[in-house]
Amino acid sequence: MKRVITYGTFDLFHLGHLRIIQRAKALGSFLVVAVSTDEFNQTKAKKCVYPYHERAAIVAAIRDVDLVIPEENWEQKVRDIQQHKIDILVMGDDWEGRFDYLKDYCKVIYLPRTPQISSTIIKSDIKSNNY
């Protein structure tokens, strides 16, 4: 059984989120999704529309997701990979190279992002009434 993990905030869940989850699951048979907590997002100067428990519940409801865990800090990835016996880490290509140090623990794959969709774009469009 190949075990895959991916990380994200997953605010204002959209097609890009769904696609990365589906593509990550296609690489293995068990998918762990780490959802950034509100406290961790504050350290990244990110403000979410939905609180952690709601974002985690939405992600957990997706059939391709086998387990949701909280992402509480940058340093936990090695522990997560070891604890959950992960074979593949999947991230969007906007993080290209950032997690290469984890190649000592598992395979690292950067997938292309879905073009022209992100929570940041959605928030910007709502603020400018472009929806």
SS (H, E, C) 35-83: EECHHHHHHCCCCCCCCHHHHHHHHHCCCCCCEEEEECCHHHHHHHHHH
77 catalytically annotated: no
* Cα 59 from Cα 89, distance rounded (Å): 17
Which of the residues 44, 47, 85, 103 is marked catalytic?
Answer: 44
* Cα 36 from Cα 87, distance rounded (Å): 21
Which of the residues 2, 25, 46, 47 is marked catalytic?
Answer: 46
Active site residues: 44, 46
